[in-house]
Each structure stands twice: as C-alpha cells, then as structure tokens.
Amino acid sequence: MKAEYINPFLESAKIVIEQVVQIRPATGELGLKDIKFVENYIWIQIGLNGQMNGDIVFGLSEQVAMKMVSAMMGGYVISEIDEIVRSAISELGNMISGNASTMLFNQGVRVDITPPKVIQSAQSAGFTAQKALTIPLIMDGIGELDIQVLIAS
C-alpha cells in the first residue's frame, strides 16, 4: 500500500470541506490501523476501479456528521441522523472522491469511483476487519473525519 494513494483524497477533502463546511481542516498523523466498525459512527464507502482497486472509506461520529451538515446548511440545528444528514454526508464523500479521481487522472492514474454507500451499523458494513492507510482531518469546533484507504492492488 502506497502513501501517495491517500494524498489526492486528503487534498480533495481539505478543499471540499473548506468550501462546503467553511472550516480549513488540520491534518492528523498518517498511520496504518485496523478498520473497526463501532456504533454511533457513519461511514461513507466509495469503490475505486481501474488502475487502483479497493475502497475509500470516510468515517465520522454521528455528532461530527450532524455538526458538519449543520455547517453545510448555514447553521441550521441538526439533532438526529435522518435522511437529509445521510444524503448530505454521502454527497460530501462523493464530492471529495470525484475531485480526488480527477487529481489522480492528472497524475496519470485512471480510476473510476462508485456511488457512495452510507453505512451506519457495523453489521451492514459487509467487509471484514482489515488494515487501512488512514489519516484524520481535524476540524476546529466540529471534530474529526477519518479518511481510510483500502487498496486491493
């Protein structure tokens, strides 16, 4: 697994979050960790096909998701994870991944992305525990968004 696979997603996430959430995230420590699906968390899974095959997974607590969507909606108070929150978080993952796939294309790596899949429970995740290259984005006043890259080849 190569660290450069995560860079376009990291750069894209910083740009997109700054545009739609109005916060410039700080970058945490790059690491390799086991994927553990815990409750009260939301994951956005996007498949990668082409010269890179695997999944990019964005993970965030439900509290962080509600704060991000609230900021995306101009401060409207969000108090529960509903269809609007799932849709907004899914679109955020889609925007980040689409932008990252363009960056990869410009670097000579052809990759297609699948539509985002929002996963809210560990049981529905459908994949076994595995190691992922991960980097957290820290958003002041909101919390962390973990970017996890699972590359098959």
**pTM (2 d.p.):** 0.86
The whole-number average pLDDT for the span 126-133 is 66
Question: Would you state the pLDDT for residue 31?
Answer: 84
Is the pLDDT at 151 greater than 80, yes or no? no
- Please choose, from the candidates 12, 33, 7, 37, the residue with its C-alpha nearest in 3D space to the C-alpha of residue 127: 37
The answer to whether 21 touches 68, Cβ cutoff 8 Å, is: yes
Percent with pLDDT over 90 in the chain: 56
Percent of the chain with pLDDT over 70: 87
Q: Give the mean pLDDT of 83-90.
A: 93
Per-residue pLDDT tens digits for 4-16 = 778 899 999 999 9
List of domains in the chain = 3-25+33-151 (3.40.1550.10)
β-partners of residue 133 are 32, 149
